[in-house]
Structure 1
Amino acid sequence: MKAIAFVDYENIWTGLLERGYELTPEQLEEYLRYYAARNKVDLLAIYLYANFDREEFWRTQTTFQKTNVFTRHVFGKNNYASTGLRHNAADLELMLEAQEILLTRTSTFDMYLLLTGDGDFLPFVRKVRAWGKEVKVIGVTGSVHHALQPYSEGEDILQWLLHEKPETEYRAENDLDQGIQVIGSLQTRLPYVASTKARAALAELLGRSVPQVKDFIRYTLKENMLIEQEHLDSNLKIGKTKIYLLNLENPRVCEALGSMFEEVSQRQQKLMMET
């Protein structure tokens, strides 16, 4: 049986995140290959739809493309205002492309694999089935709309993750020295360290996931190693942003910074004078 997979990535990713798991591009591709092998399905192509402007999906589009997934970037809205708001934009793009394939390449496939839990796809599922094609819905337990459940047959990405990819507990303490140095380096190079910039740098340089970076930030704030405050910036549309400063009175911070301490201290003093 020949199949084409369509992935409502933000829906699946969010459903897993709410249960404490962050799905990586490699895991998603591996799961689909596993499903195809187990069910003796010839998986012809994977189409994936998401707003890759989201901070959480930083660089994932490139990773997906390296694993032969056809990605479709669907912007959602302006980050600072409601201008350009597009409700259900990814859903619409997915359904339009899937219907185009249904109409123009009908004989090339037998089944659609639809990765989502969104009940808005029910009319689409009925339309595809009316054309004589099978539709299998794959979602996350607790996040699949009741209208789609008859088509899901119990397929659940979360259960596969729990069985195949047991999570090891993340300990922020193991990243303290390097994480402090990353933030310190940012403070010496930038006018200020915006929270989004800090999280992106920590994810890249520590090799950690977004939830793990958030755990690291929470830990350093709780242990009084990091200071979070609002910073006014007239160059921004909203006029302000959240920034991070290292607490230079904390002994662990001083030790981790080493020779970088004086420069970081000078930059912080300059920033305080400007505000």
Structure 2
Amino acid sequence: MQKNINIGVFVDAENVRYNGGYQLRYDILRRFAARSGGNLLRLNTYITFDQERASEDYEYQKRAYAYQQMVRDYGWKILVKNIRRYTDEDGNVTTKANADLDMAVDAMIQSEKLDLVLMLTGDGDFLQVVTALQDRGCRVELVGFRNVSRELQRQVDTYYSGFLIPDLLPVSYEPRNEWGQPGSCVRGVCQKWFPDKGYGFLRFMSRIDDNLWITDTREPDSPYTSVFCHVNELADGVSDELLKNRDTVLEFYIEQSDKDEGLVANNVRLVPSYGKHGLLE
């Protein structure tokens, strides 16, 4: 990719948070977006805020403002969408704070000066926006976590699972995790699996660079690393069918092999499911 391209990043923060992207690291996202050496012209994230709750809950207010300031410190522009409450005829209260329209309009207007648009969302409502951006000559990339629209994945130029990007999401129970180093916990996919032999090979992204398209780990410029995996290291629920599905994201520890210079995988399991508060569901 050319080094002088202009890049815009647009984050549908609520969609990301509710679909597995809780505790997204905006500093790592910025590095990922600029991996080609391009110019980051726009860094927009669309965050909801509950004014009514903030007026009654000081801790919520304090956490929300602290979080917003941390994101701003990384150079992001925060666009706050206040939550609104509606009461129907039966007295039922519903809340709404949809930032889709704001994000769509901003992406279209600001794309006039952009060559690459990176979107973080899984919402299929952005399908027409993606098509319009491409028609204007922009390359559109997508990062998502869970519940990502299949149509949206097919329409963008490149889709990346956010779970697989090194350190984009912290491993909550490994606060000093050194991604990719022996003893660390990483996330990856199954590269090859031989059910009759009881082993296979997993693959994880070991670094962020502009060669993410080189998925063959045998290539010297590939940013991916291959890991040997024995069937005994698979947790309950990790079936042969899931391993054959490239959409299955695995979480595992890596160790240096005692037989050669390669790596082996331990404690291979499906990526934990996180709720809106970051807790296992």
TM-score, normalising length from structure 1?
0.50
Cα distance between partner residues in 2 of 1:161 and 1:82: 43
Aligned to 1:233: none
Matched, 1:3 2:24: no
SS of residue paired to 2:119: strand
User: 1:43 deviation in Å?
Assistant: 2.0
Q: Note the aligned Cα RMSD (angstroms).
A: 3.3
After superposing on structure 2, the runs of 4+ consecutive aligned residues of structure 1 that deviate more than 4 Å are 54-57, 79-87, 161-164
Aligned ranges for residues 105-254 of structure 1 at < 5 Å? Answer: 106=112, 108-140=113-145, 142-150=146-154, 151=156, 153-160=158-165, 165-168=170-173, 211=277
From the superposition, tell whether residues 83 and 111 of structure 1 become closer, same or farther in structure 2 (CA, over 3 Å). Answer: same
Matched, 1:58 2:64: yes
From the superposition, tell whether residues 154 and 94 of structure 1 become closer, same or farther in structure 2 (CA, over 3 Å). Answer: closer
SS of residue paired to 1:47: strand
Larger radius of gyration: 1
Q: Name the aligned partner's letter for residue 71 of structure 2.
A: F
Cα distance between partner residues in 2 of 1:23 and 1:66: 16
Aligned ranges for residues 20-59 of structure 1 at < 5 Å? Answer: 22-24=22-24, 27-37=25-35, 39-53=36-50, 55=60, 58-59=64-65
Which 5+ residue runs of structure 2 have no aligned equivalent?
Answer: 54-59, 176-275
Cα distance between partner residues in 2 of 1:77 and 1:70: 22
From the superposition, tell whether residues 82 and 42 of structure 1 become closer, same or farther in structure 2 (CA, over 3 Å). Answer: farther
Which 5+ residue runs of structure 1 have no aligned equivalent?
Answer: 171-209, 216-275
Aligned residues: 162
Q: Name the aligned partner's letter for residue 45 of structure 1.
A: R
User: 1:66 deviation in Å?
Assistant: 1.8
Greater strand percent: which structure?
2
Q: Name the aligned partner's letter for residue 27 of structure 2.
A: E
Cα distance between partner residues in 1 of 2:101 and 2:170: 32
User: 1:159 deviation in Å?
Assistant: 1.7
Cα distance between partner residues in 1 of 2:121 and 2:169: 21
Q: Name the aligned partner's letter for residue 34 of structure 1.
A: F
Q: Name the aligned partner's letter for residue 103 of structure 2.
A: L
Q: Deviations over 1:63-119 (max 9, x none)?
A: 2122211010112323988779546x20011111222223xxx2x321111110100
Cα distance between partner residues in 2 of 1:109 and 1:3: 6
Cα distance between partner residues in 2 of 1:146 and 1:126: 15
User: 1:6 deviation in Å?
Assistant: 0.5
Q: Name the aligned partner's letter for residue 69 of structure 2.
A: T
Identity score, percent: 22
Matched, 1:100 2:96: no
Cα distance between partner residues in 2 of 1:158 and 1:152: 19
Q: Name the aligned partner's letter for residue 100 of structure 2.
A: D
Greater helix percent: which structure?
1
